[in-house]
Structure 1
Amino acid sequence: MYNRGIRGATTVTRNEEAEILEATASLLKEVVERNQIEPEDICSVWITVTPDLDATFPARAIRVLSGWDMVPLMCSTEIPVKGGLPKCIRLLIQVNTNKGQREMKHVYLNEAQSLRPDLTVS
């Protein structure tokens, strides 16, 4: 069994609580579905947002999902790099799995597809 990281990112159009929570939940669900993982397999989830998103903690979207109440979550603000993608939410999920690094399916949605076009799945 290995501890692997799965990346994901998405964007929102507005710094509003409902939109941030919906985007975070949708991104997480897509990562979980594509990688066929369960909350019990998750070691932790790191969530970062760009400095222009401060309406809510995105971890709130995950905490309320069934089975995710005991998964350690951490929110943080991204480094404000000049020219960086605005209104972006990123996830790093650490998961216990027998799969290899190249079998992990990273998920980039909306404008965040520009961050890693080599990993974008249609």
Structure 2
Amino acid sequence: MIRGVRGATTVKNNTEAEILNAAEELFIKMIEKNEIHPDDVASVFISTTEDLDAGFPAKGMRQIEGWQYVPVMCMREMPVPNSLKMCIRVMLHLNTDKDQTEIHHVYLREANILRPDLEK
């Protein structure tokens, strides 16, 4: 079974260092909370809001030991009026036996407003 694991975070400044650090923090939390091994990951989609263009958040994942060969794609989030700015969103596709209710989605910093219903 392939399950989606969602995550999101925000940054205060559009700098490569801040984007990479925030992305790496998010990936590590998603990995830890869901006990994810890179060999179980089919792919990862990462989107950023249009105000983030100083670096690729996928590089944050590449800095984690063992994650160099996981297929990752970065893309631009839809520019919906009044939506959360300076945001990095992740959709990780995981091969797992876990039920949907056992998946832990991770929302950090200002992104926690995106899915308050998932707070555990």
> Where on the TM-score scale, by shorter chain, does this alignment land: which range?
over 0.9
Query: So what's the TM-score if we normalise by structure 1?
Result: 0.96
Identity %: 52
Partner of 1:91: 90
Partner of 1:64: 63
Query: So what's the TM-score if we normalise by structure 2?
Result: 0.97
3-state SS of paired residue (2:70): coil
- Flag structure 1 segments of 5+ consecutive residues without an equivalent: none
Please list, as runs of the form range in 1=range in 2, the aligned pairs for 1:42-53 lying within 5 A after superposition.
42-53=41-52
Q: Could you tell me how far apart the structure 2 residues matched to 1:27 and 1:89 are?
A: 9
Once the two structures are superposed, what CA deviation does each residue of 1:87-106 show, in whole Å capped at 9, x if it has no partner? 00000000000001111000
- Tell me the C-alpha RMSD between the 2 structures: 0.7
Please list, as runs of the form range in 1=range in 2, the aligned pairs for 1:1-122 lying within 5 A after superposition.
2-121=1-120
Q: Is the 8 A contact 2:24 2:63 kept in 1?
A: no
Q: Could you tell me how far apart the structure 2 residues matched to 1:65 and 1:109 are?
A: 19
Q: Is the 8 A contact 2:30 2:105 kept in 1?
A: yes
Q: Could you tell me how far apart the structure 1 residues matched to 2:60 and 2:108 are?
A: 17
**What code does the residue aligned with 1:67 have?**
G
Once the two structures are superposed, what CA deviation does each residue of 1:62-91 show, in whole Å capped at 9, x if it has no partner? 123211111000000101000000000000
Q: Could you tell me how far apart the structure 2 residues matched to 1:69 and 1:63 are?
A: 5
Q: Could you tell me how far apart the structure 2 residues matched to 1:120 and 1:9 are?
A: 13
